[in-house]
Amino acid sequence: MTLSGMVWDILRFFYLFMGEWVIEKEREMKVVAFNGSARKDGNTAILVDAVFKELKKEKIKTELIQLAGKKIRGCTACRKCFENQDKRCAVKGDIVNDCIEKMLEADGIILASPTYFADVSPELKALIDRSGFVAKANQDMFRRKAGAAVIAVRRAGAIHAFDTINHFFFISQMVVPGSSYWNIGLGLAPGDVNHDDEGIMTMRTLGANMAWLMKKIHE
């Protein structure tokens, strides 16, 4: 090969390499949120929206999936996910595999729930158990994604629900941003959380910190 041929090859390599790098850097980041409430567009959804507002300011795409009214069942402990290792739950016929796909393609995951008897809703717990087991069966496939919990509560039990969600993030090797308080908003009837100024501010700060963290992870 001639010297000029070699120079051209090197230049071509750098051009391709830089192109890939620029494409990867400019890829829009995305956060997907799952609202486990039985009530669509209630307090939990309002709190998630407050987090989304800050993410959108930082040009991060957002999507809210509301579990209300959707078919979703718990883990059957069949352990087929460990046999198949195909990043899917072997239980078909409900929305869990669609949710897992959304989680996989996102850079950040928000799990949001109202407090039901001092814990998350059964729908959200079903999503946690099944997507969490599939992730474990597939080399912690949510590893180093950002994760945030959001909780609506009338009076008490929110911290326990908050912990339930964080257990999922931490055992999945995910990275969790903090806020100025635990991520909790107070309200009973739909819309009540709008009167909880500190709760809304906590969500806004969470959104700002989640955006910051995702950019650091992406660097």
Ligand X SMILES: Cc1cc2nc3c(=O)[nH]c(=O)nc-3n(C[C@H](O)[C@H](O)[C@H](O)COP(=O)(O)O)c2cc1C
Chain residues binding ligand X by CB under 6 A are 37, 39, 42-44, 114-118, 152-157, 187-188, 190
3-state secondary structure of 95: coil
How are strands ordered across the β-sheet holding 184-186?
61-66, 30-35, 108-114, 146-153, 184-186
Shortest CB 64 distance to ligand X, Å: 12
Shortest CB 26 distance to ligand X, Å: 35
> Nearer to ligand X by C-beta: 112 or 214?
112
> Nearer to ligand X by C-beta: 61 or 160?
160
CA dihedral 174, 186, 66, 33 (to 10 degrees): -30
Shortest CB 115 distance to ligand X, Å: 4
> Nearer to ligand X by C-beta: 112 or 208?
112
Report the alpha-carbon distance of residue 111 to residue 149 in Å, rounded. Answer: 5
Shortest CB 9 distance to ligand X, Å: 59
Q: What angle do CA 107, 96, 162 make, to 5 degrees?
A: 60
Q: What are phi and psi of 206, to 5 degrees?
A: -60, -45
> Nearer to ligand X by C-beta: 81 or 111?
111
